Amino acid sequence: MARQRVPEGPLAAPAVQKLRIRYAKRGRLRFSSTRDFSRAIERGLRRAGVPMAFSSGFHPHPRISYANGAPTGAASEAEYFEISVVERVEPESVRAALDDALPEGLDVIEVVEAGPGSLADRLEASSWRIELPGVTSAQAETGLRAFLAAQTAPVTRTFKTGPKTFDVRAPVVVAAVDPVDGSELSGMPCAILTMVVRHTTPATRPDDVLTALRAVGFAPPTPARVTRLAQGPLNANAEVADPLAADRDGVAP
């Protein structure tokens, strides 16, 4: 008979509740790395007194799961993580305490008790806003039409395993130039692109789409300002729905 493996180290207290947390990264914090974010959030959870669950063993880690973070340099109104706790808590109390404990630019928008199903499986697509200082709406329209008319838009990006070429046209579900120009934000022409991008492997980032736009002759003169507006299930109208709705309403997804 095979021996049952006994875990090494002390056993952790069992989790009794799981929370799903939506937060925003704004301002200068959009330039922080994923590791910096995770450290800031863990410190904030400790300051807020959240009774976190930990893994067992001699080197326990908080039971936190981050979901599809926005790339460094992009602001976001829709970042998510999950955390298990060893005591039942009131989600709104956690939201307020954690928001106070985090640095300015990391803002906790909502905390809900997790229901059945996987949060990661609900994050099917993202909605993005891309501000292009120095570009008129007419210029952006011309470049976007050329991109959308292409059958494929291959882009090469370097990963840890080396360079990889992949298509960034297919994941773009819809894209348009916002009729409202953003010139009042910068004092110069500023076209605004909005798009819904399906989550794929590898992930198609807004920077990848901008690279593909340059390949069709559209080259913005200054760096773009990118914000993720939402991420969640992709509905039949090519809109990104709220991934926490099922938890909030107590309905299985």
pLDDT above 70 as % of the chain: 92
Judge if 104 and 176 occupy the same domain: no
Residue whose tokens read 């008790």: 113
Q: What are 79-116's pLDDT values in tens digits?
A: 999 999 999 999 999 999 999 999 999 999 999 999 99
Q: Identify whether the C-beta of residue 224 lies closer than 8 Å to the C-beta of residue 128.
A: no
Q: Strand 75-85 to strand 225-232: parallel, antiparallel, or no bridges (unpaired)?
A: parallel
In a domain, 242, yes or no: no
In this structure, the answer to whether residues 226 and 129 fall within a common structural domain is: yes
37-87 pLDDT, tens digit per residue, is 899 999 999 999 999 999 887 878 899 999 999 999 999 999 999 999 999
Check whether residue 109 and residue 205 sit in a common domain: no
Inter-residue contact 26 to 105 (CB < 8 Å) = yes
Contacts of residue 37, defined as CB under 8 A and 6 or more positions apart, other chains included, come to: 25, 29, 69, 106
Q: Is residue 25 part of a domain?
A: yes
What are the two backbone dihedrals, phi and then psi, of residue 144, each rounded to the nearest 5 degrees? -65, -40
Which CATH number is 160's domain given?
Answer: 3.30.70
Same domain assignment for residues 62 and 106: yes
Cα dihedral across residues 122, 163, 128, 214: positive or negative: negative
pLDDT tens-digit map of 119-176: 999 999 999 999 999 999 999 999 999 999 999 999 999 998 999 999 999 999 999 9
| Whole-angstrom distance, CA of residue 198 vs CA of residue 81 | 20
Give the side-chain half-sphere CA count within 13 A for 82. Answer: 19
Q: Where are the alpha helices (DSSP H) in the chain?
A: 34-47, 91-101, 119-122, 137-149, 183-186, 206-215, 245-249
The whole-angstrom separation of Cα 46 and Cα 41 is 9
Beta strand segments in 121-189, E: 125-133, 154-159, 162-167, 172-177
Does residue 47 form part of some domain?
yes
Number of domains in the chain: 2
- Range in 32-36, 106-110, 175-179 the model is least confident about: 32-36
Do 228 and 163 share a structural domain? Answer: yes
Residues 221, 133 share a domain: yes
Model pTM above 0.85: yes
The reply to whether 44 falls in a domain is yes
Condensed to tens digits (0 to 9), the pLDDT of residues 140-156 reads: 999 999 999 999 999 99
Question: Looking at the DSSP assignment, which residues form a beta bridge with residue 176?
Answer: 194
Residues 107 and 136 in one domain: no
**Enclosing domain of residue 139:** 122-232
CA atoms within 13 A on the CB side of 228: 32
Same structural domain, 160 and 227: yes
For position 143, what pLDDT does the model report? 95
